[in-house]
Homo-oligomer: A and B are copies of this chain.
């Protein structure tokens, strides 16, 4: 029934890193939150705090990656999905009193220049999000792989930056503005993609 010690440590770490960042989260705090014995930490994670952090970041990344299909699979088109995505983020931010935004952004900035292990873990998460978003936009939006990748990167960047502004200002305005910017870009990309598809459903480019 109860999850094992290792899982509890990682779950607690993921939650604490998301809310406090890396440097503000202590190993003692993690084991207290996880109701885990302190001595078990360095048995399961001989690499210490960095190994815990890297593993926790990956777990958070996989969890949040599921939000992409969860939102966009129930959406009429790409731009609407983008708007739902940003609106949902804004709503969650308000509900958590502007505490829960991106689970790894703070950690990514803190550790980008100080821990190669942590930096790589964060980069891997971002890459998985980009891959998942790109595939979604290709299959559901009819975008080319290049367009899908660029629009996904832009969407994630706009979301991350809007989180920074929103948490500092305690306002969802940045999320609304950034979301609309990306949604309008998605409208143009999708109309271009669908036009190309409907014009030449299964042929190479041969028009002049």
Residues of A within 8 A of B (CB): 19-21, 23-24, 97-99, 101, 105-106, 108-110, 112-114, 119, 122-123, 126-127, 150, 153-154, 156-165, 167-170, 173-174, 177-178, 180-182, 184-185
Q: What is the minimal beta-carbon distance from A158 to any residue of chain B, in angstroms? A: 5
State the copy count for this chain: 2
Find out whether the CB atom of A174 lies under 8 angstroms from the CB atom of B161: no
CA distance A185 to B180 in the complex (A): 11
A24 proximity list for chain B (CB < 8 A): 23, 110, 114
Whole-angstrom CA separation of A109 from B160 in the bound complex: 11
Q: Kindly provide the distance from the CB of A181 to the nearest chain B CB, expressed in whole angstroms.
A: 4
CA distance A151 to B24 in the complex (A): 34
**Quick one: closest B residue to A130, CB to CB?**
B165
A192 to B24 alpha-carbon distance, docked (Å): 47
From B23, B97, B150, contact of A110 by CB (8 A): B23
